[in-house]
């Protein structure tokens, strides 16, 4: 069987999607002005215990605007694909879960991670999969929230758990 170039490109794209790498979305899960209350527990330098993570070490500090954080990537993983190491971030809540919305300083896309603090005060993050209508169903903040709300009913919505320890 002879493989066509478009088939190989599609196969490669599918492999990236299935590995749980976050995808930049044109809309945030919540507008910055609607950010949840600032949580100082997120502040600090965090190191990921999994060598496969896109980011290996980050510093999270209080941002300039109310309710925001500044994230600086100190050490990139092999799959890190962005051209910047600086993000403005904020937290939103949906269906009893907390999400970090991270906007790179050099592009108009948003990256989203579900997070929780573990019993030992460590941080666990998850990639967020859109399991119902996918990225094509997202045309606004409202439709994005609805897509995530519905996707959370699928146990595979939150994938690629990464544990982070404070340095």
- The percent of residues in the chain predicted with pLDDT above 90, rounded, is 83
Mean pLDDT value of segment 137-151: 97
Q: Compute the distance between CA of residue 26 and CA of residue 58 in angstroms, rounded to an integer.
A: 23
pLDDT digits (tens, 9 = 90+) for 78-91: 999 999 999 999 99
Confidence check: pLDDT of 13 > 80: no
What is the Cβ-side half-sphere exposure of residue 148, based on CA atoms within 13 angstroms? 25
Question: Residue 85: what pLDDT?
Answer: 97
> Does pLDDT of 10 surpass 70?
no
Which residue pairs from 112-115 have beta carbons closer than 8 angstroms and sit at least 24 positions apart in sequence? 112/22, 112/25, 112/28, 112/29, 112/148, 113/22, 114/158
The residue assigned the tokens 């169903």 is 137
Q: Examine the pLDDT at 102 and tell me if it is beyond 80.
A: yes
User: What Å distances lie between residue 118 and 64, 114, 163, CA to CA?
Assistant: 28, 13, 9
Region 23-37: mean pLDDT is 93
Kindly give, in sequence order, each residue whose CB lies less than 8 Å from that of residue 98, ignoring residues fewer than 6 positions away.
36, 91, 92, 114, 115, 116
* H or E element, residue 125: strand 123-128
pLDDT at res. 9: 34
Under the banding of pLDDT at 50, 70 and 90, the label for residue 121 is confident
Mean pLDDT (the chain) is 88
Residue 117's CB is within 10 A of a number of other CB atoms, namely 14
The residue written with tokens 């119902």 in the block is 132
**In terms of C-beta density within 10 A (0-12 exposed, 13-18 middle, 19 or more buried), how is residue 142 classed?**
exposed
* Per-residue pLDDT tens over the stretch 16-29: 333 334 568 999 99
């Amino acid at each position: 069987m002879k493989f066509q170039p478009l088939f190989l490109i599609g196969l490669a794209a599918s492999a990236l999607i299935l590995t749980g790498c976050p995808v930049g979305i044109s809309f945030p899960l919540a507008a910055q002005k609607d950010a949840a209350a600032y949580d100082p527990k997120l502040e600090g330098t965090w190191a990921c215990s999994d060598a496969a993570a896109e980011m290996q070490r980050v510093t999270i500090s209080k941002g300039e605007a109310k309710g925001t954080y500044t994230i600086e990537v100190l050490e990139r993983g092999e799959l890190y694909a962005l051209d910047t190491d600086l993000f403005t971030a904020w937290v939103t809540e949906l269906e009893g879960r907390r999400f970090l919305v991270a906007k790179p300083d050099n592009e108009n896309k948003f990256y989203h991670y579900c997070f929780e603090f573990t019993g030992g005060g460590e941080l666990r993050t998850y990639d967020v999969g859109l399991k119902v209508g996918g990225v094509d169903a997202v045309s606004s903040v409202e439709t994005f929230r609805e897509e995530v709300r519905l996707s959370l009913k699928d146990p595979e919505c939150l994938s690629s758990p990464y544990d982070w320890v404070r340095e």
